[in-house]
């Protein structure tokens, strides 16, 4: 759990810096062309929110329920912005990746024991982002169905 707390603290304390690096990566990634037309001041806040909520989502005993609430709101915001589902998902993948790149760059887990303990952090983070993928796609589907039913047939 100590390694997990190190990661949680790192993400929370450096959320803005990690989000800035994510924004730079998401706008130049060929798999996220929608994001390429957005300014950093529109991108960074969405990643900062996720990184600041990381502790709550990570430590929540009922992670699935907490993830459902958070990521459904995330999905609804991206949907309303017109972000294609596959790009919204890949942006989350890049957010997850940025956590690990930043932790590695900061040498957060430097000793062999810490690296072994970090496995818990990896497992919990993967689970949290697995929930994210599930709830984002579920919410997009609900919104798409709602839009389809509300669109008059011409």
Mean pLDDT score, 9-13? 90
Looking at residue 68, which CATH number applies to its domain?
Answer: 1.10.490.70
* Structure-model confidence comparison of residues 5 and 33, the more confident one: 33
How many structural domains does the chain have?
Answer: 1
pLDDT digits (tens, 9 = 90+) for 68-89: 999 999 999 999 999 999 999 9
Q: What HEC string does the chain produce?
A: CHHHHHHHHHHHHCHHHHHHHHHHHHHHCCCCHHHHHCCHHHHHHHHHHHHHHHHHHHHCCCHHHHHHHHHHHHHHHHHHHCCCHHHHHHHHHHHHHHHHHHHHHCCCCCCHHHHHHHHHHHHHHHHHHHHHHHHHHHHHHHHHHHHHHHCCCC
| 100: containing domain | 2-150
Mean pLDDT score, 100-123? 65
- Does residue 40 have a pLDDT over 60? yes
Model-level pTM?
Answer: 0.80
User: Can you give the pLDDT at residue 117?
Assistant: 61
User: Can you give the pLDDT at residue 43?
Assistant: 96
């Amino acid at each position: 759990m100590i390694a997990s707390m190190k990661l949680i603290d790192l993400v929370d304390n450096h959320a803005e810096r990690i989000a800035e690096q994510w924004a730079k990566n998401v706008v130049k990634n060929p798999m996220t062309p929608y994001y390429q037309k957005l300014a950093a001041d529109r991108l960074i806040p969405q990643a900062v929110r996720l990184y600041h909520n990381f502790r709550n989502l990570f430590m929540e005993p009922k992670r699935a329920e907490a993830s459902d609430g958070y990521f459904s709101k995330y999905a609804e915001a991206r949907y309303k912005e017109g972000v294609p589902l596959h790009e919204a998902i890949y942006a989350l993948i890049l957010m997850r990746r940025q956590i690990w790149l930043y932790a590695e760059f900061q040498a957060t887990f430097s000793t062999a024991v810490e690296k072994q303990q970090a496995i818990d952090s990896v497992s919990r983070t993967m689970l949290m982002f697995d929930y994210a993928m599930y709830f984002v796609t579920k919410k997009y589907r609900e919104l798409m169905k709602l839009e389809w039913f509300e669109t008059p047939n011409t």
